[in-house]
Structure 1
């Protein structure tokens, strides 16, 4: 699979394999992070599967991934929601972007991403986590989640705090 390389402003700048883009020192590429809320305002978290090549077993947003070069971010996010959690449909809205770079000491891989944050609602319906992608899931109130992040920051992916800040602000504005 290819990822879309981008410049500092998020403009396309070529493509590269996922593995090459995540090899140190990492190449800046487009990514997305989805955070789904339920009708009570809780967020759906996932613990990444143990087989993940980057940040395995850490808790993070509902799902994340990379659009293919030229693919719409929301389209790619909807596909990953189906693949990772069995979510058939979620109305997603892009609410912001940010950049980050983080090295995973356990795998030696690097994330250097121009991340698009999307939010949506999921009220009911069954989830079918894919064990190749997801170790566990949990619905958490944001206050409880933030307390957990403070108590054990190493239990969460390095990008998650920024995703939560952007997503929660947008969710509060629209609800």
Structure 2
């Protein structure tokens, strides 16, 4: 039997943190996302084009949390003790097929969300990162991670999030606010 990428990733370790983002231990991805959840470090990356639009991904149908919802360009978890930007750069390659984009942190968004479809939870201390995508670089998303991609400007995204929140991952509004506040 072949394990899916999502199944393998569920066994990876994440860094547990307190409410201030101080590391307090580790757990597997699966354990950290099982109700009631454990607060852990995460990141949400936005890539921007020259016009200031952000690249969104529609999460693949095999995702264990919020499948087929629209989200920021890429998200994930650094390994325990790993710098957030290093983990984020790794996930950009794995999810979107894009490497070597400098990332800047623009804020942190802590949140809790339950996925009614899967029963899994997100309880994350989420570092929001942004990077500028050169026009000659093209995404090559992994279909096990990403169902679709689209560009949108931030004001239009904020309007969509207000009008149709169920089409989007529950963290997207908060991380988009950090992006618009930070840049």
Check whether TM > 0.5. yes
Q: CA RMSD in A?
A: 0.8
2:31 to 20, 24, 45: 20
Residue ranges of structure 2 left out of the alignment (5+ in a row): 1-11
2:136 maps to 1:131: no
Residue aligning to 2:133:
122
**Equivalent position to 1:95, from 96, 103, 106:** 106
In structure 2, the residue matched to 1:58 is 69
| Counterpart in the other structure of 1:108 | 119
Encode CA deviations 1:110-162: one digit per residue, 9 max, x unaligned: 11001111011002211101000000000111222223222211001111111
Report the Cα distance in structure 2 between the residues aligned to 1:146 and 1:6, rounded to whole angstroms. 29
Q: What pairs up with 1:8-87 in 2 under 5 angstroms?
A: 8-87=19-98
Query: May I ask how many residue pairs the two structures share in their alignment?
Result: 171
Q: Normalising by the residue count of structure 1, what TM-score does the alignment of the two structures yield?
A: 0.95
Structure 1 residues 51-109: Cα deviation after superposition (integer angstroms, max 9, x where no partner): 00000000010100000000000000000000101112211001111210000000000
Q: What CA distance in whole angstroms lies between the structure 2 residues aligned with 1:22 and 1:96?
A: 22
Question: What residue ranges of structure 1 are gaps of 5+ in the alignment?
Answer: none
Q: Which residue of 2 aligns with 1:151?
A: 163
- Three-state SS of the structure 1 residue aligned to 2:50 is coil
The runs of at least 4 consecutive aligned structure 1 residues that moved more than 6 Å come to none
